Structure 1
Amino acid sequence: MQSKLLWVTFTVSMLFSSLLYAKAEDFFRLSGGGLLISGVEMKHSEVIEMINKEKFWQRIGRDHYILNASVGGEFDVQLKFSHGKLKKILATQLDRPYHH
Structure 2
Amino acid sequence: MQSKFIGIFFIVAMSFSSFSHAKAEDFFRLSGGGLLISGVEMRYSEVIEMINKEKSWQRVGRNHYILNASVGGEFDVRLKFRGGELTEIVSKQLGRKDYR
TM over 0.5: yes
Gaps of 5+ in 2: none
1:50-96 deviations in Å (ceiling 9; x for gaps) = 11111111111111100011110000000000010001111010059
Local SS of the residue matching 1:79: strand
Gaps of 5+ in 1: none
TM-score normalized by structure 1?
A: 0.83
Letter aligned with residue 76 of structure 1: D
Is 1:15 the counterpart of 2:15? The answer is: yes
Higher gyration radius (CA): 2
Q: How large is the RMSD of aligned CA atoms in angstroms?
A: 1.9
- CA offset at residue 5 of structure 1? 4.8
Structure 1 residue ranges (4+ consecutive) displaced by more than 3 angstroms after TM superposition: none
Identity of aligned residues (%): 73
CA distance in 1, matches of 2:50, 2:5: 38
TM-score normalized by structure 2?
A: 0.83
1:4-43 deviations in Å (ceiling 9; x for gaps) = 3542343134223422441111111111111111111111
